[in-house]
């Protein structure tokens, strides 16, 4: 009788330290069958995936309060990464400090700038607390845990506090209870799609560069409207030359559908460059 073979865990790179919200997204999307690989910067994440060191990457692309995560867009637009999935996660921030500390002690709060932007009301209500940018939420928690300073705290998730032995000094410090972040799962070109137990309507991500002339963007967008294809996101980022721009788009259709194919062919004739980043099922809760 042959012993059953155990499927290897998917290696998934994410930006930040263990305990970050991105790691939580990795575990949920892959149903716990993943090996999270922390990386300091988004570009390090992209390099890990493209080099084969990681099978996939988990990129936070936008937040309902802070908006787009621009560094994540730049990694997508400047590399050959493809998009193979998405997940939307609720984000609940806590003020984390040493077990001996209290809210009245805190004078500085460390966190990622995107996280700080989600907690403006709390910070305005506590002007004695200085917001200090850090490279990651869980990384901020780890730093606080390593320093015996009751005036120092981190804004991060409860899981990060548990991992690094910190106390919750204030919970739900985000501006709204419905705070959420959408993550994109990225891979090398030609990689098989990750296992996906459920999924909604297909979506496609697209990178477009336009000519520097009046109406260039309008002419790129019209083929979608003419065919009844709904655009769900449009983000402008600087191009390779001064005062030129690249656009990240998402629309509700698979790139292989006839209407989408027709639109993409027309856009290809109108734009300077077009690259389909990938089609994938939209996230739906179980």
Which CATH number fits the domain that encloses residue 226? 3.30.70.260
pLDDT of residue 1: 39
Three-state SS at 247: strand
User: Is 280 a residue of the active site?
Assistant: no
pLDDT of residue 199: 72
Nearest residue to 103 via CA among 42, 153, 174: 153
Strand partners, 202: 281
| 81 and 129 belong to one structural domain | no
Whether the Cβ atoms of residue 279 and residue 203 lie closer than 8 Å to each other: yes
Residue 17 located in a structural domain: yes
Q: How far apart are the first and last CA of the chain?
A: 37
Q: Is the C-alpha dihedral spanning 100, 105, 110, 116 positive or negative?
A: positive
Residue 194 located in a structural domain: no
Summarised one tens digit per residue, pLDDT across range 13-57 is 999 999 999 999 999 999 999 999 999 999 999 999 999 999 999
Summarised one tens digit per residue, pLDDT across range 126-164 is 999 999 999 999 999 999 999 989 999 999 999 999 999
Residue 215 located in a structural domain: yes
What is the tally of structural domains in the chain? 3
| 79 and 100 belong to one structural domain | no
Which CATH number fits the domain that encloses residue 59? 3.40.190.10
| 115 and 78 belong to one structural domain | no
Of the candidates 122, 183, 224, 280, the residue annotated as catalytic is 183
Residue 114 located in a structural domain: yes
Domain encompassing residue 227: 202-281
Strand partners, 180: 90
Residue 257 located in a structural domain: yes
- pTM of the predicted structure, to 2 decimals: 0.93
Residue 23 located in a structural domain: yes
DSSP state of 127: T
User: Is 181 a residue of the active site?
Assistant: yes
Residue 3 located in a structural domain: no
CA distance 61 to 70: 8
pLDDT at 6 over 70: no
Of the candidates 82, 137, 181, 210, the residue annotated as catalytic is 181
| 155 and 183 belong to one structural domain | no
| 209 and 270 belong to one structural domain | yes
CA distance 30 to 14: 13
| 116 and 241 belong to one structural domain | no
pLDDT of residue 242: 82
């Amino acid at each position: 009788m042959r012993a059953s073979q155990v499927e290897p865990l998917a290696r998934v790179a994410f930006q930040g330290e263990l305990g970050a919200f991105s790691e939580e997204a990795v575990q949920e999307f892959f149903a716990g069958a993943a090996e999270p690989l922390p990386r300091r910067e988004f570009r390090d994440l992209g390099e890990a995936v493209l080099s084969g060191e990681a099978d996939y990457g988990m990129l936070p692309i936008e937040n309902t309060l802070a908006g787009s995560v621009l560094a994540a867009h730049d990694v997508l637009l400047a590399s050959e990464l493809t998009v193979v999935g998405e997940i939307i996660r609720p984000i609940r921030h806590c003020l984390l400090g040493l077990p001996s500390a209290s809210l009245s002690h805190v004078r500085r709060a460390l966190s990622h700038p995107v996280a700080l932007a989600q907690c403006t009301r709390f910070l305005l209500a506590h002007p004695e607390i200085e917001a200090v940018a850090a490279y990651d939420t869980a990384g901020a928690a780890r730093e606080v845990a390593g320093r015996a300073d009751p005036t120092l705290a981190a804004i991060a998730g409860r899981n990060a506090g548990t991992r690094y032995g910190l106390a919750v000094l204030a919970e739900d410090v985000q501006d709204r209870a419905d705070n959420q972040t959408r993550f994109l799962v990225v891979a090398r070109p030609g990689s098989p799609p990750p296992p996906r137990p459920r999924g909604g309507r297909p979506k496609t991500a697209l990178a477009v560069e336009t000519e520097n002339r009046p109406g260039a963007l309008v002419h790129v967008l019209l083929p979608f409207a003419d065919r009844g294809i709904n655009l769900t996101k449009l983000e402008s980022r600087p191009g390779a030359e001064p005062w030129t721009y690249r656009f990240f788009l998402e629309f509700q259709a698979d790139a292989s559908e006839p209407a989408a194919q027709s639109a993409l062919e027309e856009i290809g004739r109108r734009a300077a460059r077009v690259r389909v980043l990938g089609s994938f099922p939209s996230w739906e809760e179980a």
